[in-house]
Amino acid sequence: DQQVKQNSPSLSVQEGRISILNCDYTNSMFDYFLWYKKYPAEGPTFLISISSIKDKNEDGRFTVFLNKSAKHLSLHIVPSQPGDSAVYFCAAADSGGYQKVTFGIGTKLQVIP
């Protein structure tokens, strides 16, 4: 039973345009959300996070939006660059438990020059 779902296995975007990666969750106890980026043959690296007390968090070209009522979050990358081509993992945590994080299966983003 997947508690964090990334329904798009892949996404292609032209350089300079917006990339939107989506994530849905089912566990209402999740109150902290993260996005990680992973290049081939490397470990994931933290990108951006958001607490459930917020609905938006921005860091440079990256913005995460959280819609608690829909149990949905999205990552926007503007403008997209070829170096953004990677697998993006959505992750969620329940602050009431141990620091266990549940990951989605990932979305492979390709930014076309």
Site residues (CB under 8 A) for other proteins, limited to 79-108: 89, 91, 93, 95, 98-106
Decide whether 23 or 111 has the Cβ nearer to other proteins. Answer: 23
Stretch that binds other proteins, among 45-53, 54-62, 63-71, 75-83 (CB under 8 A): 45-53
Q: Is 83 left (phi over 0), alpha (psi -120 to 50) or beta?
A: alpha
Q: Which residue shows structure tokens 């299966």?
A: 105
What is the smallest separation between the CB atom of 77 and other proteins, expressed in angstroms?
Answer: 19
Please measure the distance between the N-terminal and C-terminal CA atoms of the chain and give it in whole angstroms: 37
Q: Which two structure tokens, joined as six digits, stand for 9?
A: 């296995």
What is the smallest separation between the CB atom of 56 and other proteins, expressed in angstroms?
Answer: 17
